[in-house]
């Protein structure tokens, strides 16, 4: 059971709702490791008393963190901290980069590495002919020992030399940058679907579990398509973040 929540001074004059101020405070405690996965929190009444808040405010803060995947309610156990999701900003970076930057331990299992002619869809995305050669790569990406994503990449042969060994040890974008290729811009689409049986086995999920999908075409500073990627992520362990500004 977690000890008393470190004191939070809420700003009642702020336009930020009280529940959200509390939720952000608890989220920081979870993500900083003060409350590691498995920690049980006191019930809402005790937490509300500790922070000098109403029970409805505390309940809404807890529900917000449950929806975010940071807390879970278990019958007979109470409210418990779970492993935080990997939150990835929508920008031109690789999953390997983002995991490493956030202090996670990325690990890669290369499931497939071939040189083949591309399908019409891949050829069109990369701006090459269907008779050209492309690397066809399938990887299972882990954070620590936990599977997180199945990644399919298609790379034109020529500008870049790839090996199975390098892909198992490094991020793809690290390899691209080391080859002197400057990634400049990408088009990207995010969606969702249910896990197929083979995907569920690899990702330690049940068939039909929700997955996030992402397709991307990345271009270098000359406008040449360098990579076409089609990836799936465990929705229970992963989310995309966007920052919106007014124009």
Encode the chain (247 residues) as per-residue pLDDT tens digits.
455 556 666 777 777 788 888 888 888 888 777 888 888 887 788 888 877 888 888 888 888 888 777 888 877 778 888 766 555 544 455 666 666 665 567 889 999 999 999 999 999 889 899 999 999 999 999 988 889 899 999 999 987 889 999 999 888 988 998 999 988 888 888 888 999 999 999 999 999 999 989 898 888 888 888 999 999 988 877 665 554 444 4
Q: So what's the pLDDT on residue 168?
A: 92
Q: So what's the pLDDT on residue 47?
A: 81
User: Which CATH fold topology does 18-81 show?
Assistant: Arc Repressor Mutant, subunit A (1.10.10)
β-bridge mates for residue 20, sequence order: none
Residue 117's nearest CA partner among 107, 131, 128, 104 is 131
Residues 70-101: b if buried by 16+ CB within 10 A, e if exposed: bbeeeeeeebbbbbbbbebeeeeebbbbbbee
User: What's the DSSP call for residue 34?
Assistant: S
Q: Do 33 and 77 contact (CB within 8 A), yes or no?
A: no
Which CATH code, of 3.10.450.50, 2.60.40.10, 3.40.50.300, 3.40.1410.10, is assigned to 86-241?
3.40.1410.10
Q: What residues have CB less than 8 Å from 160, skipping those under 6 apart? A: 135, 175, 176, 179, 181, 226
Give dist(CA 58, CA 46) in Å, integer. Answer: 10
CATH 1.10.10.10 in the chain, residue ranges: 18-81
Q: So what's the pLDDT on residue 247?
A: 43
Residue 231's nearest CA partner among 118, 130, 149 is 149
β-bridge mates for residue 110, sequence order: 139
Q: So what's the pLDDT on residue 237?
A: 74
CATH 3.40.1410.10 in the chain, residue ranges: 86-241
Token pair for residue 15? 């336009």
Q: Do 197 and 205 contact (CB within 8 A), yes or no?
A: no
Give dist(CA 78, CA 101) in Å, integer. Answer: 33
Q: So what's the pLDDT on residue 151?
A: 93
Give dist(CA 70, CA 182) in Å, integer. Answer: 36
**Model pTM?**
0.61
Q: What residues have CB less than 8 Å from 60, skipping those under 6 apart? A: 19
- The region that residue 38 occupies, defined by phi over 0 for left and psi between -120 and 50 for alpha, beta otherwise, is left
């Amino acid at each position: 059971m977690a000890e008393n929540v470190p004191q939070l001074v809420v700003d009642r004059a702020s336009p930020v709702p009280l529940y959200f101020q509390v939720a952000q405070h608890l989220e920081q405690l979870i993500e900083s490791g003060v409350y590691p996965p498995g920690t049980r929190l006191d019930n809402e009444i005790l937490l509300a008393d500790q922070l000098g808040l109403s029970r409805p405010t505390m309940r809404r803060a807890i529900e917000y963190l449950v929806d975010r995947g940071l807390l879970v309610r278990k019958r007979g156990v109470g409210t418990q901290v779970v492993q935080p999701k990997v939150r990835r900003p929508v920008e031109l970076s690789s999953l390997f980069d983002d995991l490493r930057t956030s202090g996670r331990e990325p690990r890669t299992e290369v499931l497939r590495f071939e040189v083949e002619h591309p399908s019409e869809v891949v050829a069109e995305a990369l701006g090459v002919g269907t008779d050209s050669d492309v690397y066809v790569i399938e990887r299972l990406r882990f954070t620590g020992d936990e599977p997180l994503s199945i990644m399919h990449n298609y790379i034109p042969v020529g500008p870049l030399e790839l090996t199975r060994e390098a892909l198992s040890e490094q991020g793809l974008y690290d390899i691209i940058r080391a080859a002197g290729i400057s990634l400049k811009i990408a088009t990207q689409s995010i969606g969702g679907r249910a896990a197929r049986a083979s995907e569920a086995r690899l990702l330690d999920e049940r068939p039909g579990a929700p997955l996030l999908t992402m397709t991307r075409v990345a271009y270098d500073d000359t406008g040449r398509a360098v990579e076409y990627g089609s990836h799936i992520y465990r929705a229970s362990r992963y989310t995309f973040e966007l920052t919106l500004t007014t124009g």
